[in-house]
Amino acid sequence: MTIATQTILKEALRLTPVERAELIEELYHSFDKKYDVRIDALWAQEAEARIEAHDAGHIKAETVETVFERINKR
């Protein structure tokens, strides 16, 4: 890793978790020239719809522990 890269990393680690996640997302998308921001918007809408359905009692949710336990049994 170059000195410049190490400097950037040190600065990035000072960011809040949300800021780091945003930075990671932007860096990740910089590799994909075909990236379409509409996909993120559609996933956000889907997530909101699922939250609303859960809050209204139309769907049930499992804990992350239950989900990982089921996955690890495969």
pLDDT in the model for residue 29: 84
Please tell me the pTM assigned to this model. Answer: 0.48
Helix, strand, or coil (residue 70):
helix
Percent of the chain with pLDDT over 90: 78
Count of domains in the chain?
A: 1
Instruction: State which residues form the domain around 9.
Output: 3-72
DSSP assigned state of 73:
T
Reported as a single tens digit per residue, the pLDDT across 33-69 is 777 878 889 999 999 999 999 999 999 999 999 999 9
Helix, strand, or coil (residue 61):
coil
pLDDT at 5 over 90: yes
Secondary structure (H, E, C), 14-59: CCCHHHHHHHHHHHHHHCCCCCCHHHHHHHHHHHHHHHHHHHCCCC
Round to whole Å and give the CA distance between 69 and 23.
31
Query: Distance between the two ends of the chain, CA-based, in angstroms?
Result: 38
